């Protein structure tokens, strides 16, 4: 049992426990600012997967959602992987249960599908897939798919249709969606665009077609940082989850970032990403729990398509 030190503020306590545990803190771009500020690495799903695979820490504390921590465990099984709140799920992952995908593949065996799964899915779905992709490499992954196979893309129909537009490759799409990104609408983004006509609109590919049509750039959260840094523009409308604004403002302090609004809110929060708090992070390090575990047979089957993706993207 690790002793908590009296009189320390929460962030200092987290850092103290992290050193005691020889842990690495990996945080997704949608985490609250306090967590981003003390993480060892902040990034998108692809960057976080590489960090999880390459770390020599004993413990990976994953400040993100369940499928991200599970991916870390799949590709680095000897590590203890902990997630501050086990309830940090994902609507995309929920939209495609492994049993439903297995049944669908059985019913359409004649199609001999090559299954490409967006990383926002469970280990069970990954285990049924040929290759995994993230928003950062989906175009490459689809372009590398065998030309003589029918593609089934799961679970995000919006990311899937964006990749079809970019590659011209037909795919059958699972009907899942991110509940956060579909909240942005043509009206809400059209209105903010009219208010700031000089600001490029930068949108995540999980947004609907109508919103992507209004965007100057559609890309993963990590690529948003590069795009905004390299662009000559001074201000940007960021159409993704609100946590992204902290990363952008911190790394590119000279520019202005405006949150893309929904029809009802000035910005969009993911209730799953926001389940993680500094207190829960401190407790997770102190207790080494909640821990991610999964059956070894599933882990092994889920690892192959992730490795395939990592090799395609290096």
Q: Which residues bind ligand 13P (CB under 6 A)?
A: 29, 44-45, 120, 134-136, 178, 204, 206, 220-221
Separation CA 90–CA 40 (nearest Å): 23
Nearest to 89, CA basis, from 273, 293, 277: 273
Per CB under 6 A, contacts with ligand SF4 among 108-127 are 120
Per CB under 6 A, contacts with ligand SF4 among 33-52 are none
CB of 273 to ligand SF4, least distance (A): 5
- Residue 177 found at the interface with ligand SF4 (CB under 6 A): no
* Binding-site partner at residue 91 among ligand SF4, ligand 13P, none, CB < 5 to 8 Å by type: ligand SF4
Q: CB of 136 within 8 A of CB of 114?
A: no
In this chain, which stretch among 12-20, 85-93, 135-143, 211-219 interacts with ligand SF4, using CB under 6 A? Answer: 85-93
CB of 30 to ligand 13P, least distance (A): 7
Q: Which is nearer to ligand 13P, 17 or 201 (CB)?
A: 201
Q: Which residue in 23, 154, 272, 281 binds ligand SF4 (CB under 6 A)? A: 272
Non-local (6+) Cβ contacts of 55 within 8 A are: 24, 76, 79
In this chain, which stretch among 16-24, 140-148, 175-183, 259-267 interacts with ligand SF4, using CB under 6 A? Answer: 175-183
- Residue 180 found at the interface with ligand SF4 (CB under 6 A): yes
DSSP string, 162-209: HHHHHH----EE--B--TTGGG--HHHHHHHHHHSTTSPEEE-TTS-H
């Amino acid at each position: 049992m690790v002793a908590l030190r009296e009189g320390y503020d929460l962030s200092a306590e987290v850092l103290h426990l992290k050193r005691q545990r020889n842990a690495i803190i990996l945080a997704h771009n949608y985490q609250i600012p306090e967590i981003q500020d003390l993480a060892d690495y902040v990034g998108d799903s692809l960057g976080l997967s590489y960090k999880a695979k390459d770390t020599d820490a004993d413990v990976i504390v994953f400040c993100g959602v369940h499928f991200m921590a599970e991916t870390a465990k799949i590709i680095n099984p000897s590590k203890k992987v902990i997630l501050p709140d086990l309830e940090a799920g994902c609507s995309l992952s929920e939209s495609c249960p492994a049993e439903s995908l297995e049944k669908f593949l059985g019913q359409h065996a004649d199609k001999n599908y090559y299954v490409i799964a967006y990383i926002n899915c469970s280990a069970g779905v990954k285990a049924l897939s040929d290759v995994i992709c993230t928003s950062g490499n989906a175009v490459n992954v689809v372009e590398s798919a065998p030309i003589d196979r029918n593609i089934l893309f799961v679970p995000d129909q919006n990311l899937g249709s964006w990749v079809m537009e970019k590659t011209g490759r037909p795919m059958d799409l699972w009907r899942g969606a991110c509940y956060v990104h579909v909240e942005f609408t043509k009206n809400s983004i059209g209105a903010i665009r009219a208010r700031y006509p000089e600001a490029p609109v930068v949108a995540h590919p999980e947004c609907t077609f109508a919103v992507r049509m209004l965007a100057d750039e559609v890309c993963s959260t990590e690529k948003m940082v590069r795009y905004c840094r390299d662009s000559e523009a001074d201000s940007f409308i960021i159409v993704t989850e609100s946590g992204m604004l902290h990363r952008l403002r911190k790394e590119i302090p000279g520019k202005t970032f405006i949150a893309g609004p929904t029809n009802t809110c000035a910005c969009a929060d993911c209730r799953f990403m926001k389940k993680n708090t500094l207190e829960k992070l401190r407790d997770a390090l102190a207790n080494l729990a909640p821990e991610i575990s999964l059956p070894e047979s599933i882990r092994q089957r889920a690892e192959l398509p992730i490795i395939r993706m990592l090799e395609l993207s290096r």
